[in-house]
Amino acid sequence: MPYTFTMNWKFTRPNHRVHFGVDEPFCHIFPLQRGSLEDVTPVIRKLSDAPDLEREFKIWSQRRNAFNADLADPASQAAQEKWQKGYFKGKQPSGGAGSQTHYSRLRLRSFK
C-alpha cells in the first residue's frame, strides 16, 4: 500500500526536551501477519485459579517491593545491581527454572 505510517509517542514529563542523535534508533518496526492479533481471544482469570503462578507472583512482588525500597540506599546491593534480572534470565522468583522456551532477544531478519 502506498501509505505512510503513524508512530505515536507518550511523553512522561511535561516541558522536557526530547532529542534523537544522528543514527540513533527511535523506533522498532515489527511486522505482524495480517489478522494475527484478531485471532487472539483474551481471557480474564483470577490469579488464585493458578496456585503455582499466584505463589510465584507473591514471591516476586515481595522481593520487588524490598528491592525498590533498597534502591534508596546508594550502598545497597539493589543500588549496585540497578535492576532485577530474574525475568530477563528466565528464572522463577522462587529460584526454580522457568520456561524451557524462554528467550530475551529476538533475532529478526533485516529488511531486504
Domain count, the chain: 1
| pLDDT score, position 66 | 95
Dmax over CA atoms of the chain, in Å, equals 56
| pLDDT score, position 36 | 92
Task: Tell me which residues of the chain have a pLDDT lower than 50.
Answer: none
Range of the structural domain that residue 81 is part of: 48-89
Answer yes or no: is 82 within a domain: yes
| pLDDT score, position 1 | 63
d(CA 112, CA 101): 28
d(CA 63, CA 69): 10
Answer yes or no: is 6 within a domain: no
Question: Are the CB atoms for 47 and 54 separated by under 8 Å?
Answer: yes
Sole residue written with cell 540513533 = 24
Answer yes or no: is 52 within a domain: yes
